[in-house]
Structures are given as C-alpha cells and as structure tokens.
Amino acid sequence: MPLLMNNRKSKKLLTSTVKAKNYRQFRHGSAPVVGILSTVKLSSTTGFPLGKEARIFQEKFAIAKQYGIIMFLFYADDIDWINKTINGYQFITDVGMKEHWERTIFPFPDVVYNRIRYRNVEKQPNVRQLLKFFDRDSHIKLFNTRFLDKWEVHEALVSDPTTSKMVPPTMLFSDVNLKHLLNEYSEVFIKPRNNNAGREIIKIVRNNSDIFSYCQSASSPPSWIQCSSFSNLCNHLSILIQNPNNYIVQTGIDLCRLEKQVFDLRAQVQKNGQGQWVFTGMNVRVATGNRFVTYPKAVKRAPFDKVVAIVTGGSEVFRNKIYSQLSNLYYNVPRVLDENLGLSLAILSIDIGMDIHGKPWIIEVSSKSDSFDEKDIRARHFQYLMEYFLYITTKTRFQK
C-alpha cells in the first residue's frame, strides 16, 4: 500500500482555504471539535477524498453536524506545529445546496479519532510520534490509540476468569510449540500477530502421526501441500515464515457450517454517551470456495437467525444459551481489554467462531472496526459515536 500521506504535496489541490478563528477562542467554544486521522485515498485530479471510505466520512460529517460537532479529517503531514493548526478536510453543503469537499484550517481538536487503516503507515516513525503527542496532550483525547497485537489480546483475555475460556489454546510460534499443539490437536493455525482480515494464515492438519498437510489462507482455490514428517513440515514453514517472533500458533475449532462452508460472526461494541461499552450490532460472514477463513473479498452474508436455527436445531433452550454466552462475551471482552492494555479504546470489532456445540470462541479482536453495510447497525454506530464524542469532550474540558 503506497503511503498516501506524503505523496499528496506534489498534487495540485483545488481547495478553498478558510482562516481559523483565534486558537484559544476556537478551542474553548461550545462546539466539540473532532479530527479524524485518516489514510483515505485522494483523487489524483481534485486532491479530495474518494471511494467508499470517503462516502462513509460524508455520512459521519452529516450526523456530526446534527449533534453540533465540528468534524474534519486530516493526514499526518497536515499539521502546522508552529501555529498549532491543521489543514484538514470537511464535506460541506454550500449556499446553493451543493455538497463538496473543502480544505479548512482548524485548531488542534478536542478529540483525535485514529482511523489509520494500514499497519505499515501507523508504524512509521513520524506517525508514531504524532500519536504519542496526541496521547500525552491533556487538552486532546486520543480515540483508539493503535492497532492491536494478537498475542497481547490473548494474554489479556486469558488473565481474566470471565474471558479465559473464550479463547482457543494459543502459544507463541516456534517449532517446539507447534509440535506440542499438533501432538494434542489434529488442526492448528499459524497467524501473524500484527495482521488481520484473515491474511497470511496457515492451517495445518495432522493426518496421522507422521503425515501433515498445510494450506495458506490466500490460496484460491485452497491448495493443500502434504509433508511426510514434522521436520519436512518445519522446512516448508521456514520458507513461508521469515520472522517466527511475529506469529502465534493456535488450536483449531470444530466450527459449525452453513451449506458446508465455515462462517464466523463479526460483532461490534463501542462506548456510548455515558462512556459505557454497548453492543452495536453483528453480521454473519460465510466463507466461499471451501476456504477455511472468511476472507473479506470472498464471503457472503447470512441472516443471524438462520444461523442460530441451524446451530440449535430449533431448540429454544439451546438458542437462549447461545444468546446468553454471546451477551457475556460482548460485556466482558471490551472490559477486560480496557483494564489490561492501557490503551484508549472505544470501538472494537470481535470475530467470533461458533463450534458444533454452540459455544462461541474469540477468533480476533480489532481496534479498527470496518463499517457495516446494514443500515440499522450503521445508524446505531453513528449515534453512539457522536454521543461518546460529546461525553469525552465535556469530561475533558471539565477536567482542565
């Protein structure tokens, strides 16, 4: 993914620049100011945001206006450190009721919402320094500090009795740990600690004591390679895995299937106008083409009620048990991560696998939740998001 934040300077921007009010006067006005740190693509002709993510920002700006919130998006190189201003982007409606993007100079905001979508961008030194600055500034609330590491999430969840049984047995990757888990389980997954969306995952199946098969999640259609021994398997993996320290190994789950395909549940939780974690919504993603992961570009959707009916066989008792377990998961997972990671978290997406007994398992937790296509979920998301912005802005200003 090319870095979008530094190559913009060579483009001719068709902008309308508006001078900001006095910094102190603006910052202490009644309207909360929210800046969204972004990596949304920019048009090569206009220099303004474009694509699906830009359309989602347009929706957010419209909702923010209804709540009396001043919202803009910006990039890491849009900051003027001398004047403490940001040359950001707004989507506005002018006098003639025409909607368009506009460049405007803003003061440092009350809230910075980290919506950097790419780990390689967030890891760059200038971006890390910028996030550290926002995190330490008592006048700014940094919202969603950074991407999460699968191992730190696992360590946090297993440390609490309310969530420890929700995660599959997991170890840091090494040949020794891999052999240990393959001796205990017939299927394991090797996953990158700092990647998401099902990328770079390797599934290994123990056919018997001496023969193993593995497949990479990106192969389409799935291509299984057979190894005649564990040492032969390790030789293959050493070619695929350049830095073993960046991976975990996790046991497989005997997942329920829908029309012979595996599926998972993508749930979102976020903080509301009282600063409390609430459940936003959930959808079901079904893998296609006999894949073992719900790869984003190769999934289909299914109604949750249909999935529950298949899992429970129509049993109301069984269905209520699933709902109870899911509610417990929604409540405890964000609470435990909030308490243990020491990060500013306010939105989380949780990928959940359902085994053949109806038990939910945590597959992955992400701090950079994707948008939902379901209109009712998106509406709740926007409502909770704006109410939380109002809550933390009021709380931050009161503490000054």
DSSP structure string for 314-344: T-HHHHHHHHHHHHHHHHHHHHHHHHHH-S-
Q: Decide if 26 contacts 33 (C-beta within 8 A).
A: yes
Closest Cα partner for 150 from 308, 394, 11, 351? 351
Please write the tens of the pLDDT for every residue from 242-280.
899 999 999 998 888 887 888 888 899 999 999 999 999
What's the confidence (pLDDT) of residue 130?
93
What's the confidence (pLDDT) of residue 99?
83
What's the confidence (pLDDT) of residue 20?
42
Measured torsion, CA atoms of residues 73, 75, 81, 83, in degrees rounded to the nearest 10: -40
Q: Decide if 321 contacts 220 (C-beta within 8 A).
A: no
Please write the tens of the pLDDT for every residue from 312-357.
887 888 888 888 999 999 999 999 999 999 888 999 999 999 888 8
Q: Decide if 203 contacts 215 (C-beta within 8 A).
A: yes
pTM score, two decimals? 0.85
Q: Using CA atoms, how far apart are residues 118 and 148, in angstroms rounded to an integer?
A: 12
Helix (H, G, I), strand (E, B) or coil at 239: helix
Closest Cα partner for 332 from 167, 119, 169? 167
Rg (CA), the chain: 23
Q: Which two tokens stand for residue 164?
A: 């420890």
Q: Which domains does the chain have, with CATH numbers?
A: 7-144 (3.40.50), 150-165+255-367+369-389 (3.30.470.20), 170-251 (no CATH)
What residues of the chain score a pLDDT lower than 50?
A: 1-26, 28
Q: Which two tokens stand for residue 318?
A: 């069984």
Q: Using CA atoms, how far apart are residues 191 and 200, in angstroms rounded to an integer?
A: 7
Per-residue b or e along 168-204, where b marks 16 or more CB atoms closer than 10 Å to that residue's CB: bebbebeeebbeebbeebebbbbbbbebbbbebbbbb
Helix (H, G, I), strand (E, B) or coil at 135: helix
What's the confidence (pLDDT) of residue 242?
87
Q: What is the DSSP letter of 160?
A: S
